[in-house]
Structure 1
């Protein structure tokens, strides 16, 4: 140990880059102590590290972990005790090493110091440059570096909030982190997304939500539900510039909450939406090229499809401003479309366009707002909601001042539905506006609300009261009281109810008095009289003037030059007459004109200009009282302007009468009071009559509305009854037609059954054979030989009876109809070529009525011939010919049977019967 050289004598910068790690470690420790001991950020110890910022790159990324830990601590001290320049000059050398070797360090102290250094870099300047240096680390090959960077971003946004630190660059890179193969990276990305949700809520979703997997979305939704219950987040760490601004802010006044000043924290934080986070997109290229042609089509489906394509193109968080004049004109024209589906889709297009353009949509407001409000007459709920949403978005893109003219004009619309929709829109505007309307706008809104109070519909009357209550919430009840004069107590109570429950974002704040403002002095007049050079000459006579009614200062200044004038005009009146005013304002104006030829009329010092120029008099009326007027002149009131001319008091006035404050005599004052009382009485009577008239008009309108509703209900009932009667007549007619069809089918069925029975009887009679032929088996019932019947083993057989029984079995599952035509019932009814005729002519053997199956007769094939030989043992050519004719007849009978079967199926289909 004693042989080791002493490096403490070397300069700090030489030891800082020494090849021995222990020397570097000691240099880092020594540097941290020197930084902490500096008086200010301009100390000499900072200079070498500012001139060569690469010194810090080796310190924060030292190859030895022990030395690196001390190097990170030294860099934190350098930033903490330095200034803005210390961070801006070194961050491009230190951020990357801090992220790659500091944050993933295995030592907790080194990791903590690296994160602290990043926060200090943000403190001294701004978060933007640091975050920009952090983003490339999200693509690092080492998962531990990516996860550490994401965790550092979580700390940054948790400390400074999304208002100070811009979240847009990180939100764009977040989907890539969610798709990382390492689970730690995905977990860190989820933590960062949850932190963003604390500040941005659902406004952040359009930036990256569509790039996530469904399982990731569901996991995030579960985490978001936990965050929703937490209170609104607040910024925990402040930049140095913010700290200086907070230090300069004045302390809160007495009774004011701490932090509620200009920089106070009681103000509601501004909501961040997707518009602030998204980048503007050019949507003009996405609009279908045939949009205007399809919008002008005569088919409503083409118009609706065109608007749907436009909606798909415009439905983005933020739209780049462009030429949308023609599109807005087309949307305004679509408001007059006869098809409500087209109107609804057009309103949705206006909504997304105004939402995407925001303030840039203000130039299009006048084009679409009027048509949209005109369409509020639609009673369908879905259409009304779409129109209301479009109007709300147009209002948010503009302001209440811009929309108020259209709103007040449509509040007087003749259609009650339009009036009600406009009223609801105005209420929503008053709740959402953040700017207090001007006095003129308040007056216009109040007048519109008062008119709604006298409407016949209860909804409109309640809406008018809600409008007035919301305005009262904005401006305050004291400012609203003058507007409520003349309303009855019932309406005032209704307005007060809405005032108590209204929620508004704009509230009238009392303006603080200016710092230099001081109350006017109570004794300002006497001070000027004492200190000025224009003090009246008659000092002893001054107490005669009443001190409670000083004249305006202009009058006092104008009367001051009259002090040297002779007092012969005022002396005869005695001391009591010096303070006597003129009899009236009119007399005071005429008296100087009568005395212009008197001794003092030609005085060059008499001021005459104030009579011709009323401005000084107006200024005098607004100024506070200063000095007492000259003795012998009138005071204020109606005779104020005559003070510019020295007018003596009339001699006829009694000297002992007290000077009235208004310059009128007692008689005139009494008459004036009487006239005022009469005026008030008449005004009150007129107001009462106006209220009664409004009440009667309201009742009349209500009765008219009720009458119209009853007429409408009656008309609707009559039309309904007529419709029901028409349906009943049609049902009866259909029932009768059905009965007729059923009867006809029943008769047809009976006829076919009889025909089937007759055919079976004919078949049984035709199948009887001679006794010498043995009866066939059950499977061979009714077999007839086709050609020869002898010793040969080859025979073709056909059973007519079995065929009939088979067809009958096939038909029993349906309608049990006969397979034979009525032509087979009787031989005489058969056609010329019908097999039934040959059959009847060929049959000669009697059939036993008790026999279910016919006897079979063997017929030998022979040459062709006609007839049938029924005798037993008959032979020869005649028998052979008869046998051949019988076989041919059976073949024709089979063909006829098939034809009958087809005809029956056709008849079933025609009568409406279908196979199950």
Structure 2
């Protein structure tokens, strides 16, 4: 094996890459990686075979042996890192799909990491679109594990580069398909990818795929989005080669900061650009959806027809992006609708203008002059919903143009006689200043400031505050110094108000001050002296030594300004020295090349050391003549002393550098503090929102509880009322029962007090002629009924003895009632069996017993008299007895023939 390995190592790398033995291939991958890392540049010959035949990498990244595949992916990453853009562009068409299919789902963590790194390098070296095109077909793979790994790779790409570098539209269009997959791991990775895209795009992702998801999936995603909303804005972690070159160029600018600072500024500029729905959406041709009879319906006399036409137009225009076309007729019709008498029509028309302006963006600029003035004229409506719709339409129209095009009409409507129009125009101008990205020119600033200054003298507080806000927002754009001339004539109260708005204003356009142009480089004389007004040396540049310079040429120095004082740096070295007093001499060379002047202050060169110091002034004012001359000989001219060497210059430069570094560190600390405060503010805002929602929920629960209590109280009041009504009814019934009891008692007392009507004549009658007796009994019975007495006992007592002793069968026949319950207690008095010994129980005519009053008999032990205690039952029994007696009388009359005429008897 050792000899074989030696032979294999001598083979060229392409042959070893295509070898049948996996160990040979693995060794070839390792050797290739080492050779790539040792190359001096991208043009090394080791890259040539792999650039000419990129198919070699297809087998390497998708090797059938997992150990060899791991090394093959590592070799490919090294090839991309050191081979440059050419190796990337030539090989990505053959390697991306095998990496996604075999590398990302690998069970080895190292192989999976190398596969992800290879994809990131392919995006970093050139651009992301070809890589995404090669990755997307893997989302239709048959193996769910491959689809889940593909989604993970896409999430990694977007997490590192963001949606400004990698276009999210192709992936967003493919999301509904993976959300409908049967495998739960695929759906979970789809959710993770969607959340990652939401971190960059926010709500802009929804119009492209949201409607195709199930409601349950939408709910789950909304919960995940809520967690992402609390996070700070994402930042790009990896940069493409083009971005890296731009950052390097920015950092390499003369007299600029270091590379790190330049990279940070570039990243901030990239982050400032937000991804919009308009950029993601495809243009839609809305003309086929516009109603054909739009203009006819808008000319109708009925406002409902006009509103229905505008509603149909609103539905057609409600798309994220509208394809550019000729919309002149539609815009003119909408401008005409702004004069409509019905506010509902005006509101819908304003909404249509809003959608059309948002859908066309810059394409709507040509219609601005047609629609803007009618909208602003209609701002006189006081209803807030109409004013909001018109304001939104104006904002969308302004977004399609710029401040310069709209400013003239805005300032004209600020002078409108209608205060409502003036107030709404004022608000519109403030919104324009906040959202514009173009810094207004000086004439525009002047016109805006003059209009706002006039508003400060208005009678209404709203207009005065609006004028101050305009000036404060304009000051935020232009800077305090540029606005100073317009604030000179104002009082301190108004200036304070404007300053407050200036501090709180948020604008998108800021006037960056022009870079300070350094003075020209000093004309160096023969001695190397600096000429007055020369340019300061750049940091870190070396100056030529002054010792080798020729003698200087003296020039007169202008008188220095007495107001300027020397400024000392943090290390104690003066930045600009003061002039020496006469006669004291110069201790240092203040005009040397080592002195650094402030860019905002003109540096005046003091007298040089070679110039003789002026003589001291005479004590007594003598300045001329012999007495004024010095006695001593004038000093001989000295030779020019050599200029100090470079160490002071280097020391001064190092001090400035130290100060600059300290300022940079302070700036970084300040930036980090601002970021922390922003994050804290976002966190506190989220907590406030959460507390507000909780408070609203508590209020809602309290309202529900109060309503429930009121409902219970209402039910209780009704129940109490029903109870009182039932109680009154019961009392009434009780009173009625008492009355009936009293009536029954009176009836019983009357029956016991009054003597019974006896028929003595009938008592001695024979059985053969009982008609008269029965007639009398019948009349007595009727008289008893008329008085309300029970007549059973009276009738029984009045019957003849012979009749009473009749047989039971005959008595039953006389009754004519075949009741099975004869003699029972429940059947009543009328159904009781008559005793055959009727007359035996009668003790006398003067004192009838209780049994005789109730119509009962004492002859039989089976038929003992029972008395009911219920009055109502007694009345019923009395009625039944009466009816039975009537029936018996009629039967007896029929038998005796009393009903027949006398002739027939």
Whether TM-score is above 0.5 comes out as yes
What is the alpha-carbon distance in structure 1 between the residues aligned to residue 155 and residue 211 of structure 2? 22
* Offset at residue 355 of structure 1 (A): 0.5
- Contact 1:204–1:273 (CA<8 Å) still a contact in 2? no
Equivalence for 1:355: 358
Against the structure 1 CA distance between its residues 21 and 461, is the aligned structure 2 distance closer, same or farther, given a 3 Å change threshold?
same
Structure 2: how far apart are the matches of 1:256 and 1:450?
46
Deviations 1:688-742 (A, max 9, x none): xxxxxxxxxxxxxxxxxxxxxxxxxxxxxxxxxxxxxxxxxxxxxxxxxxxxxxx
Alpha carbons of structure 1 residues 443 and 239: separation in structure 2 relative to 1, 3 Å: same
Helix, strand or coil: the match of 2:20? coil
Aligned pair 1:373/2:376, yes or no? yes
In structure 2, what is the Cα distance between the partners aligned to 1:354 and 1:516? 49
Size of the aligned set, in residue pairs, is 539
Q: Which residue of 2 aligns with 1:848?
A: none
Q: 1:418 to 1:43 in 2, by over 3 A?
A: same
SS at match of 1:398: coil
- Alpha-carbon separation, structure 2, partners of 1:506 and 1:524: 35
Is 1:258–1:264's contact at 8 Å kept on the other side of the alignment?
no
Per-residue CA deviation, residues 378-428 of structure 1 (Å, 9 max, x unaligned), is: 000100000000001111111111110110010001111100010000001
Equivalence map 1:772-783=2 (5 Å)? none
> What are the superposed Cα offsets for residues 546-568 of structure 1, whole Å, 9 maximum, x if unpaired?
9999xxxxxxxxxxxxxxxxxxx
Per the TM alignment, residue 287 of structure 1 is displaced from its structure 2 partner at its CA by 0.7
Deviation at 1:235, TM superposition (A): 0.5
Q: What is residue 26 of structure 1 aligned with on the other side?
A: 27
Alpha-carbon separation, structure 2, partners of 1:101 and 1:238: 27
**SS state at 2:274 partner:** coil
Q: Name the CA distance, whole Å, in 1 between partners of 2:76 and 2:42.
A: 14
State the shift of 1:205 in Å. Answer: 0.9
Which of these residues, 315, 339, 354, is aligned with residue 318 of structure 2?
315
Q: Please, which moves more after superposition, 108-117 or 484-493?
A: 484-493
Q: Deviations over 1:205-246 (max 9, x none)?
A: 111111111111111111111111111111001112211221
Q: Which residue of 1 aligns with 2:261?
A: 258
Contact persistence 2:251–2:263 (CA under 8 A): no
Q: Where does residue 462 of structure 2 map in the other structure?
A: 459
CA–CA distance in structure 1, aligned partners of residues 414 and 101 of structure 2: 66
> Contact conserved, 1:260 with 1:266, CA < 8 A, in 2?
no
Q: Which residue of 1 aligns with 2:508?
A: 505
State how 1:555-570 maps to structure 2 within 5 Å.
none
Equivalent in 415, 419, 424 of residue 416 of structure 1: 419
Q: Is the partner of 1:7 in helix, strand or coil?
A: helix
Where has structure 1 moved over 3 Å in runs of 4 or more?
A: 1-6, 251-262, 514-525, 546-549
1:94-146, Cα deviation, whole Å (9 max, x unpaired): 11111111111122222111111111111211111101111111111111111
Q: Distance in 2 between matches of 1:524 and 1:127?
A: 53
Deviation at 1:491, TM superposition (A): 2.2
- Residue 492 of structure 1 deviates from its aligned partner by 2.1
Using a 3 Å threshold, how does the CA distance of structure 1 residues 397 and 301 change in structure 2: closer, same or farther? same
Give 1:311-460 correspondences, 5 Å limit: 311-460=314-463
Higher RCO (CA < 8 A, seq sep 6+)? 1
Question: Contact 2:335/2:375 (CA < 8 Å) preserved in 1?
Answer: yes
**Structure 1 residues 9-48: aligned runs within 5 Å:** 9-48=10-49
Structure 1 counterpart of 2:181 = 180
Q: 1:250 Cα shift?
A: 2.6
Q: Is the 8 A contact 2:519 2:533 kept in 1?
A: no
Note the C-alpha offset of 1:321.
Answer: 0.4
- The answer (yes or no) to whether the contact 1:138–1:177 under 8 Å persists in 2 is yes
With over 3 angstroms needed to count, the CA separation of the structure-2 counterparts of 1:248 and 1:419, relative to structure 1, is same
Alignment partners' CA distance in 2, 1:352 and 1:342: 16
Larger gyration radius, structure 1 or structure 2: 2
Q: 2: distance between equivalents of 1:317 and 1:507?
A: 30
Give me the whole-angstrom Cα distance separating, in 1, the residues matched to 2:164 and 2:92. 22
Instruction: Tell me what 2:275 maps to.
Output: 272
1:444-843 matched pairs, under 5 angstroms: 444-514=447-517
Choose from 295, 299, 308 the match for 2:298. 295
CA shift in 2, pair 1:327/1:62, >3 Å: same
Distance 2:3 2:522 in 1: 85
> Gapped runs of 5+ residues in structure 1?
526-541, 550-770, 776-871, 875-916
Q: 1:15–1:407: structure 2 CA closer, same or farther, 3 Å change rule?
A: same
Relative to the length of structure 2, the TM-score reads: 0.57
Q: Find the aligned partners of 1:87 and 1:3 in 2 and give their Cα distance.
A: 36
The Cα shift of 1:17 comes to 0.8
Q: Tell me if the contact between 2:251 and 2:259 (Cα under 8 Å) persists in the aligned partners.
A: no
2:261 is paired with a residue whose SS is: coil
| Residues 123 and 407 (structure 1), Cα distance of their counterparts in 2 relative to 1, 3 Å cut | same
Question: Is 2:200 the partner of 1:199?
Answer: yes
Cross-structure match for 1:136: 137
> How many angstroms does 1:442 deviate by?
0.5
- Residue 81 of structure 1: SS of its match in structure 2? helix
Task: Quote the Cα distance in structure 1 between the aligned partners of 2:247 and 2:145.
Answer: 39
3-state SS of 2:163 partner: helix
Following superposition, the deviation at residue 471 of structure 1 comes to 0.9
Q: What is the TM-score with the length of structure 1 in the denominator?
A: 0.56
Distance in 2 separating the partners of 1:133 and 1:339 = 56
Distance in 2, matches of 1:30 and 1:128, equals: 32
- In the aligned structure 2, how far is the partner of 1:490 from the partner of 1:95? 68
Instruction: Give the Å deviation of 1:519.
Output: 9.1
Q: 1:233 matched to which residue of 2? A: 234
Distance 2:379 2:46 in 1: 74
- Once the two structures are superposed, residues 161-203 of structure 1 have per-residue CA deviations (whole angstroms, 9 ceiling, x without a partner) of 1111111111111111111111111111100110011111111
Q: Does 1:167 align with 2:168?
A: yes
Contact 1:259 1:266 in 2 (8 A): no
Distance 1:261 1:24 in 2: 44
Name the SS for the 2:8 alignment partner: coil
1:567-590 deviation line (CA, Å, top 9, x unaligned): xxxxxxxxxxxxxxxxxxxxxxxx
Alignment partner, residue 115 of structure 2: 114
- Output the CA distance in 1 between the equivalents of 2:136 and 2:48: 30
Please state how far the C-alpha of 1:488 moved relative to its aligned partner. Answer: 2.5
| Residues 251 and 260, structure 2, Cα contact 8 Å, conserved in 1 | no
- CA distance in 2 between partners of 1:20 and 1:523 (Å): 80
- Report the CA distance shift for 1:497/1:402 in structure 2 as closer, same or farther (over 3 A): same
Partner of 2:73: 72
Contact kept? 2:247, 2:262, Cα under 8 Å: no
Query: Following the alignment from structure 1 to structure 2, what is the Cα–Cα distance between the partners of residues 108 and 261?
Result: 33
Q: Deviations over 1:622-666 (max 9, x none)?
A: xxxxxxxxxxxxxxxxxxxxxxxxxxxxxxxxxxxxxxxxxxxxx
Instruction: Indicate if the aligned counterparts of 1:250 and 1:261 stay in contact, CA closer than 8 A.
Output: no
Q: In structure 2, the residue corresponding to 1:436 is in which secondary structure?
A: coil
1:338–1:215 Cα change, 3 Å: same
8 Å contact kept, 1:282–1:319: yes
Contact 1:249 1:261 in 2 (8 A): no
**Counterpart contact for 2:162–2:236, Cα < 8 Å:** yes
Cα offsets for 1:861-885 (capped at 9, x unmatched): xxxxxxxxxxx999xxxxxxxxxxx
Residues 267 and 445 (structure 1 numbering): CA distance in 2 closer, same or farther, change over 3 Å?
Answer: farther
* Change in 2 beyond 3 A, CA 1:130/1:264: closer
Structure 1 partner of 2:307: 304
Mapped to 2, the partners of 1:32 and 1:524 lie a distance apart of 59
Compared CA separation, residues 222 and 421, structure 1 to 2 (3 A): same
